[in-house]
Amino acid sequence: MSAEHSGSRRPRTGAPRLTRHVAPGVHRLEHAHVNCYLIEDQGQVTIVDTGLPASWRILPDVLAAIGSSRSAVQAVVITHAHFDHLGFAHAIHQDWGVPVHGHPDEAYLAVHPYRYAHESPRIRYPFRYPGSIPVLARMAGAGALRVRGLEGLQAMGIDAALDVPGRPRVVFSPGHTFGHCALHLPERGVLFSGDALVTFDPYTTERGPRVVAAAATADTAEALRSLSRLDDTEAATVLPGHGEPWRHGVRAATAAAREAGVR
């Protein structure tokens, strides 16, 4: 695993890469084109999304690199329960006893992370966007095809602060999945957008703010409507589920996503 400070360029190999202090008290682990984040708060840690299974093996090293340890991890919060955000949720819950929080509408998907609704057939995308083939292969190499489901998802409310380190406010933003939620840190000006808005789409390899392709989005019209919920946060920095951080304000990001449309 390589590490960098915020502002360094990232390689495109899919190798795990830690960016410390990508936002105040927030660290980013990118692995096989999937992001998960660690929020520090008074010596405790909340993990936002759990990437792919291979990230579990390096999590102790990630924690050590930010000056923390497994005992500091008090909670996991998932933006949604697609396989590439649920990667090590089962392991951290079972082996470390860490509770995993998510919207109640994600409970079934958390148990069955491959049974997700999507508007367009997935099989056509590698033919239409051949650049996605190595991206999807890297994701598979990091365990995308062997994610274990999770029972016992802790239901979280919406439009309220979660009682976990960092106290992120839950922003209901359905469309990508039926229970998708972004997370907002108002005092830090940070929005974890999950896959409600990304800056890299693994299915098309297109970059810049956008909604994920219909191959992995349940309701694209609802996903576009949910961008207004992200606007309401007025966040300065957007940390997406896939792609680089966006530092030009959430409204600029959502405007670009609306212009890009959905593939």
Whole-number percent of the chain with pLDDT over 90: 92
User: Is the confidence at residue 75, as pLDDT, over 80?
Assistant: yes
Assess if residue 41 is contained within a domain: yes
Please, what is the average pLDDT of the chain? Answer: 95
Average pLDDT rounded to a whole number, residues 181-202: 98
Tell whether 215 is covered by a domain: no
Residue 190, strand partner residues: 185, 237
Domain tally for the chain? 1
Cα(205)–Cα(201) distance, rounded to whole angstroms?
Answer: 5
Amino acid 28: pLDDT: 98
- Across the range 194-205, mean pLDDT stands at 97
Region 2-14 average pLDDT: 56
Q: Is residue 22 part of a domain?
A: yes
DSSP H or E run through 28: strand 26-31
Strand-by-strand arrangement of the 26-31 sheet: 2-5, 17-23, 26-31, 34-41, 44-48, 73-77, 100-102, 154-155
pLDDT at 4: 65
In a domain, 234, yes or no: no
pLDDT at 8: 41
Q: Which residue has the tokens 């297109």?
A: 206
| pLDDT level of residue 123 (50, 70, 90 thresholds) | confident
Instruction: Compute CA 169 distance to the chain's CA centroid, rounded to the nearest angstrom.
Output: 15
How many residues in the chain?
A: 263
Q: Which domain holds residue 105?
A: 2-194
pLDDT of residue 151: 96
Q: What is the pLDDT of residues 209-223, one digit of tens each?
A: 999 999 999 999 999
**154 part of a folded domain:** yes
What CATH number is associated with residue 100?
Answer: 3.60.15.10
Does pLDDT of 7 surpass 60? no
**For residue 13, which phi and psi values (nearest 5 degrees)?**
-90, -15
Query: Would you say residue 243 lies in a domain?
Result: no
Q: What is the pLDDT of residues 151-191, one digit of tens each?
A: 999 999 999 999 999 999 999 999 999 999 999 999 999 99
Query: Per residue in 203-252, pLDDT tens?
Result: 999 999 999 999 999 999 999 999 999 999 999 999 999 999 999 999 99
Q: How far is CA 117 from the centre of its chain?
A: 18
Q: Give domain status of residue 230, yes or no.
A: no
Q: How far apart are CA 27 and CA 138, in angstroms?
A: 22
pLDDT digits (tens, 9 = 90+) for 54-74: 999 999 999 999 999 999 999
Residue 6, pLDDT score: 47
**What's the pTM?**
0.94
d(CA 163, CA 107): 19
Task: Provide the pLDDT confidence category of residue 11 given band limits of 50, 70 and 90.
Answer: very low
Tell me, yes or no, whether 63 lies in a domain.
yes
Using CB atoms within 10 Å of the CB of residue 43, give its burial: 0 to 12 exposed, 13 to 18 middle, 19+ buried.
exposed
Q: Which residue, 46, 34, 51, is CA-closest to 240?
A: 34
